[in-house]
Each structure stands twice: as structure tokens, then as C-alpha cells.
Structure 1
Amino acid sequence: MIDVVASEWLKLRSLRSTYYVMASLLSAVVLTGLSAFSISRYYDLNGPGGAPVGTGLSTSADVVFVLFGVLGVLAVSGEFQSGMIRLSLIRIRRPWMLIVAKAAVVAAVAAVAGQVLAFAAYFTAQAVVGARPIGASLSDPAALPEVLATGVGAAVAAVTGLCLATLLRSTAGALISVVAVMPGPAMIERFLPAPWNDWTGSLTITSLTRQLAGVPDSGAFGAAGAGAALLGYVVILILLAAAAITRRDA
């Protein structure tokens, strides 16, 4: 299994798309800075009463998780398109091991990159806010957990993209699915009665990540429920992807 993981790590490092996605993630830092500037400008002109900047992470979280989902898609979709996936499966007697190894690699890369990005976005927002009382110190109860939880959300998003690409075996289809699935529960909630709407809207990866950190008013679940839901995303999707690649031709 270790050899399979090492092989998948080499593949991910060899893909140009990996570096393109990582470069695109810098847009989240820019977006966070622009949002913090806009809110700070409103505070200077109108005083207290507007939305606070807080950690600044909520501004770009949806974009970040979609991009990590794209990273997961591109980690496997090219192999299906080129047929190289067959070579990988020939030397691995248990096809499910390939999916588990790929998931482990993209999750680890996304977690580390997401964590670095979260701290970069946080410090950018606080630098823009300056001495204004609309930012969030890392000593605040939910600030540091929110920053740290971003790495978890990034890993879940990357595994989601990987598994969707495995199930669909189409780059375009998987990319569209990632964009649709990430905000999907929040879009569905408006058509549901209470309390189903609150529960459904709380199931986005963005919302679950904030709930995991204990951010107030971020959703209907507590930290334990959010953690269980995120774990459920990963386990169910990996099981489905492993079953798909085991039972059908690559």
C-alpha cells in the first residue's frame, strides 16, 4: 500500500494541473483582502453596524473548496481519458487500493495547502483591518478553530472531486458536478419546510467546516455532528468510487 501511495504522490506532483490549481488558490487571498478592504471602508464611513470581517475566511471559502474539488477531479480524470488507469490497475490486484491511495494523497496535499492558504487569508484580512474592531484575534474562541478547520474542509473537498471523477469517468462531467454539489444543499434548502431547510442548508462543506470550528450561527449541527457529516462524505464517496472501479472496466 505504501508503494501505491508513493506512486500516486509522484503522479500528482507530475501533473501541471496541480500547479495551476494551486496558483488559482491565490485568488482566494486576493478576494479576502478586497472584501476586508470593502468592509473596512464601510466602517470608516458609517461606523459600527455593518458586517464584521472576522477571520475573513467566509468570504472566499466557497471558491477555495470548489478549487480543491477541481484538484481532486484532475488527479484522476486524465488517467481515465488517456486510458493510463488500466496500467495502474494491472499492477494492483485490488482496485479499491488505488482509490484509497489517491484519496490519501489528494487529502493530504489539500489539507496542507488549505491550511497554508487559510493562514495567509486570515493574516491578509487582519492586515487590511488594522486597529479597527471588526477583525478577529486568534485568541477569540472560534477564530483559530475556524482557520484550522479550513484544512479539513479542503481535504474533504478534494476527496469529493476525486470520487466524482472516478464515478463519472469524465473530466467535464466531474467538474460540473463539483460546482453543482458544493453549494447544492444550500440551493435545495429554500424549497424545503422547517426544520428540513436548516438541516439541508447546513450540509455544504463550507457550512460544515464552520460548524466543526464552532463558529456561532453557522448551521444546525454542533461540532460533533459536523465532524460526523464530513467523515460521512469521505467514507460514502470512497466506498462508491471503490465499488465503481472494482465492478466495471476502467
Structure 2
Amino acid sequence: MINLVASEWLKLRSLRSTYYVLAATLSALALTGFAAFSISHYFDTNGFGGEPVGTGLSFSADITPILFGMLGVLAISGEYGTGMIRLTLTTVRRPWMVLLAKAAVVAGVAAVAGQVVAFATYFTAQAVVGGRPIGASFSEPAALAEVLATGTGSAVAAVMGLGLATILRSTPGALIGLVALLLVPTGIERFLPAPWNDWMSSLAVPSLTRQLAGVPDSGGFGPVSATTILTSYVVISLLAATLAITRRDA
């Protein structure tokens, strides 16, 4: 299994798309910096009353899961496109082991990269805010936990993307499905009456990540429930993908 994980790590490193996706995460810093600057300017002009910057992670909360989900999609969809998946499954007789190795690699990369982006985003926001009382220090409740939980959300999104690409065997289809899967709960909640709207929006990965950290007013679930739901996303994605890769010819 260790050799298989090492092989999948080499494959992921050899993909140019991996570096494109990681480079695209810098957009989170740009968006956060712009939002923090706008809110800081409003504060300088009008004082309190506007939206606080806080940790700054909320401004790019929907972007990073999509990008790391793309990392999971591209980790396997290219093999289906080129037919290399046949060689992989011929070499490794147990398809579930291939899938598990890929999931371990993309989840690990997404967790580490997502954590780096989270800290960079946080410090970008605080640097723009400066001494204004609209930021959030790590001494405040849930601030550090919110930053640390971001890596978990990134890893979950990556595995979800991997699962979708394995099931659909299409890069465009998996990318569209990924965006829909990550954003649909937030979109649907606008058309639902209370309390169903809050419950639906609480199921989105970015919202679950904040609930995992215990951020106040971030959703209808506590840390334990959020952890359970995020885990179920990973398990369901891997089980569905395992059925697809086992029962169908590569």
C-alpha cells in the first residue's frame, strides 16, 4: 500500500494541473485583501455598523473547496481520458486500493495546502485591517479553530471531487457536478422557509467547516455533528466511487 501511495503521489506531482490549481488558490488572498480593504475604508468613513472582517476566511470560503475539489477531479479524470487507468487497474488487481491511495494523496495535499492558504488568508486580512477593531486575533474565541479547520474542509472537498470523477469519468461533468454539489445547498436555502433554509445552508462544506470550529452563528450543527456529516461525505464519496470503479470496466 505504501508503494501504491508513493506512486499516486508521483502521478499527482507530474500533473501540470496540480500546480495550476494550487496557483489559483492565490485568488483567495486577492479576494480577501480587496474585501478587507473595502470594509476598512468603510470603517474609516462611517465607523462601526458595517460587516466586520474577522478572520477574513469567509470572503473566500466558497472558492477554496471548489479549487481543492478540482484537484481531486483532475487526479483521476486525466487517467480515464488517456486510458492509463486500464494499466493502473491491470497492475493493481484491487481497484479499491487504487482509489484509497489516490484519496489519501489528494486529501493530504489538499489539507496541507488548504491550511497554508488559510493562514496566509488570515494574516493578509489582519495586515490590511491593521489596528482597526474589525479583525480577529487568535486570542478570540474560535478564531484559531476556524483557521485550523479549513484544512479539513479542503481535504473533504478533494475526496468528493475524486469520487465524482471516478463515477462520471468525465472532467467537465465532474467539475460541473462538483460545483453544483458544493454550492447547491446555499442556493436552495434561499427558497426554503425557516428553519429548513438554515438547516440546508448548514450542510454546505464551507459552513460545516466553520461549525466544526465552533464559530458562533455559523449553522445549525455543533462540532460533533459537523464532524459526522463531513466524515459521511468522505465515506459516501469513496463507497460510491469504489462501486463504480469495481463494477464497470475501466
Q: Common fold, TM-score beyond 0.5?
A: yes
Counterpart residue number, 1:185: 185
Equivalent positions of 1:95-174 (< 5 A) are 95-174=95-174
Give the whole-Å Cα distance in 1 for the aligned partners of 2:92 and 2:193.
Answer: 48
Counterpart residue number, 1:39: 39
- How many residues matched? 250
Counterpart residue number, 2:93: 93
Amino acid at match of 2:242: A
Pair 1:202-2:205 in alignment: no
Give the whole-Å Cα distance in 1 for the aligned partners of 2:70 and 2:215.
Answer: 26
Q: Where does structure 1 lack aligned partners over 5 or more consecutive residues?
A: none
Once the two structures are TM-superposed, the CA of residue 142 in structure 1 deviates from its matched residue by 0.7
Once the two structures are TM-superposed, the CA of residue 211 in structure 1 deviates from its matched residue by 0.4
Give the whole-Å Cα distance in 1 for the aligned partners of 2:147 and 2:97.
Answer: 32
Once the two structures are TM-superposed, the CA of residue 191 in structure 1 deviates from its matched residue by 3.0
Give the whole-Å Cα distance in 2 for the aligned partners of 1:30 and 1:17.
Answer: 21
Pair 1:51-2:51 in alignment: yes
CA deviations 1:201-242 (Å, max 9, x no partner) are: 100000000000111111000011111100000001100001
Give the whole-Å Cα distance in 1 for the aligned partners of 2:157 and 2:119.
Answer: 18
Once the two structures are TM-superposed, the CA of residue 141 in structure 1 deviates from its matched residue by 1.1
Pair 1:18-2:18 in alignment: yes
Give the whole-Å Cα distance in 1 for the aligned partners of 2:244 and 2:63.
Answer: 29
CA deviations 1:51-77 (Å, max 9, x no partner) are: 100000000011111111111111110
Identity %: 72
Pair 1:2-2:11 in alignment: no
Give the whole-Å Cα distance in 2 for the aligned partners of 1:129 and 1:35.
Answer: 10
RMSD of equivalent CA atoms: 0.8
Normalised by the length of structure 1, the TM-score is 0.98
Give the whole-Å Cα distance in 2 for the aligned partners of 1:199 and 1:100.
Answer: 31
Give the whole-Å Cα distance in 1 for the aligned partners of 2:107 and 2:116.
Answer: 14
Once the two structures are TM-superposed, the CA of residue 199 in structure 1 deviates from its matched residue by 1.4
Counterpart residue number, 1:232: 232
Normalised by the length of structure 2, the TM-score is 0.98
CA deviations 1:158-203 (Å, max 9, x no partner) are: 1111110001000000011111111111112233333322211100
Give the whole-Å Cα distance in 2 for the aligned partners of 1:105 and 1:196.
Answer: 36
Once the two structures are TM-superposed, the CA of residue 9 in structure 1 deviates from its matched residue by 0.3
Counterpart residue number, 1:248: 248
Give the whole-Å Cα distance in 2 for the aligned partners of 1:31 and 1:19.
Answer: 20
Amino acid at match of 2:246: T
SS at match of 1:231: helix
Pair 1:81-2:81 in alignment: yes
Give the whole-Å Cα distance in 1 for the aligned partners of 2:204 and 2:55.
Answer: 19
SS at match of 1:183: helix
SS at match of 1:182: helix
Amino acid at match of 1:98: V
Give the whole-Å Cα distance in 1 for the aligned partners of 2:198 and 2:36.
Answer: 28
Pair 1:64-2:64 in alignment: yes
Give the whole-Å Cα distance in 2 for the aligned partners of 1:213 and 1:153.
Answer: 11
Structure 1 stretches of 4+ with a deviation exceeding 4 A read none
Give the whole-Å Cα distance in 1 for the aligned partners of 2:190 and 2:232.
Answer: 24
